Structure 1
Amino acid sequence: MARKSRKSVKKGSKANKPSRPVRWALVWGVRLFGVVLLMAIAGTFLWSVLNPPTTLYMMQEKSRLGSIEHEWVPMDGIAPIMARAAVAAEDANFCRHWGLDVAAIRRAIDDGGNRGASTISQQVVKNVYLWPGRSWIRKVLEAGMTPLIEAIWSKRRILEVYLNVAEFDEGVFGVEAAARHYFGVGADALSDVQAARLAAILPSPKSRSARDPSTFVRKRAAQILDGAATIRADGRAQCFES
């Protein structure tokens, strides 16, 4: 009887082991995850010191339109009011979170998902590393990469990249191209009102105009100017202005 019980235990232990195909899938799954993680880290370090020459969405739009307007400009070449206006419009607590604004996410959930909760950091991850759209896969990757960006990049660098890859009109990417497209000036020469209007057309630049602003855009720009002054006064602009 004892022998039989030992045999039954041995058989049971073998039965509990995953089959060879399952083990193979697990091993290669772990290896694939490791490769993806290393690529993400390498890519994050790469664009922390080098400027991304383009994005997947830019390439798609260039293929569709034939050409796009885009010129990289460093943060020192952007009017300070433009940086404050963008933060006031898109992510007022940019300096106070680590990439994911939990309070904004909760408000979005309470509102039934009718308001956006993406931070500027999340938008940079989406624009630079991922693809447009609302799929769950993209959202998971975005949520995973955003803290990595925050850990390696400075807040000033995150905002610099954001302002250089954001879409401001059909085929117009980056604040330098947008400033010349709408107002005929460089990004460093933007006035307070011009900067606020550029920020006001986000995140729907194809349906709004900074050159011929609607009543909504004018009101939104005025609110953004107030918000920009507020975040400067209460210290929420220090992380990218210092």
Structure 2
Amino acid sequence: MTRLMRILILAIVWFMGLSIALVIVYRFVPVPVTATMLLDEHGITKDWTRLSRVDRNMVAAAIAAEDGKFCQHNGFDKQAIEKAIKKNARGGRIRGGSTISQQTAKNVFLWQGGGYFRKGLEAWFTLLIENIWGKRRIMEVYLNVAETGLGTYGAEAGARRYYHHSGARLSRTEAARIAAVLPLPKARAAVDPAGFTRRYGNTVAARIGEVRRDGLDACVYD
């Protein structure tokens, strides 16, 4: 039993050391590929782009659509998590309470799908990137690895796929529609969207103004 405990402790120490080292490397080096990309039957289309070359409308749209408290929390939105737990307890469509930081941790270091084990690892990596990367780097990585369409990853690749121009110049409507696709990138279209996607995109476009006005993206540009 003592030997098993030593092995377990050693494995945990090795995991923590390796994960910290990997997070430090990705603080400076572009993420080359993720598990989600490798498992995508539609292939991989991506174009790593520095945040300075991504239109500010895209940053605001991501915050408006996915995480309005991005600049305020330390990686976890307690209120959103509590609301998700209560709603999910009532049944129906599962609602997530993940922040952009949590989504980035999952997208870069882990795999899609649920389970308490994966959620525990997600929390660990979220703490690491919040403290080692900071908000600007988290947003930069998120907008480069988030799935924006079938086999399409990142805001730059999404902009070129849908609008045939660089992500450096996205209108509010274009950025909002890309953001509206993020929760279900394989089922939603950013070009000529209909129904919920169109309505949600319009809502996100309106919220972009609020994000800019209230400085909800300030931590990204400090």
Report the TM-score range of the alignment, normalised by the length of the smaller protein. over 0.9
User: Given the alignment of the two structures, is residue 80 of structure 1 paired with residue 60 of structure 2, yes or no?
Assistant: no
Query: 1:25 offset after TM fit, Å?
Result: 0.7
- The amino acid of 1:241's aligned partner reads Y
| Structure with a larger share of its residues in helix | 1
Q: 2:208 aligned to 219, 228, 237, which one? A: 228
Distance in structure 1 (CA, Å) of the matches to 2:44 and 2:70 = 29
- Segments of 5+ residues of structure 1 without an aligned counterpart are 1-21
How many Å separate the matches in 1 of 2:52 and 2:27? 16
Deviations 1:22-41 (A, max 9, x none): 00011111111100000111
C-alpha separation in 1, matches of 2:108 and 2:30: 10
RMSD over equivalenced CA pairs, Å: 1.1
Give me the TM-score of the superposition, normalised by structure 1.
0.87
The answer to whether the 8 Å contact 2:156/2:167 transfers is yes
Moved over 3 A (4+): none
Structure-2 residue corresponding to 1:162: 142
Aligned residues, how many?
A: 218
Q: Is the 8 A contact 2:48 2:154 kept in 1?
A: yes
Question: Gapped runs of 5+ residues in structure 2?
Answer: none
In structure 2, what is the Cα distance between the partners aligned to 1:163 and 1:226?
A: 20
Shift of 1:229: 1.5
Query: Amino acid of the residue matched to residue 198 of structure 1?
Result: I
Please report how far the alpha carbon of residue 140 of structure 1 lies from its aligned counterpart in structure 2 after TM superposition.
0.8
Q: Distance in 1 between matches of 2:77 and 2:16?
A: 23
Q: Deviation at 1:239?
A: 0.3
Match of 1:111 among 87, 90, 94: 87
TM-score for the superposition, normalised by structure 2: 0.95
Does 2:79 correspond to 1:99? Answer: no
Q: Identity of counterpart residues, as a percentage? A: 40
| Aligned counterpart in structure 2 of residue 124 of structure 1, from 96, 104, 120 | 104
Question: Higher Cα Rg: structure 1 or 2?
Answer: 1
Match of 1:205 among 181, 185, 191: 185
Question: Which letter maps to 1:229?
Answer: G
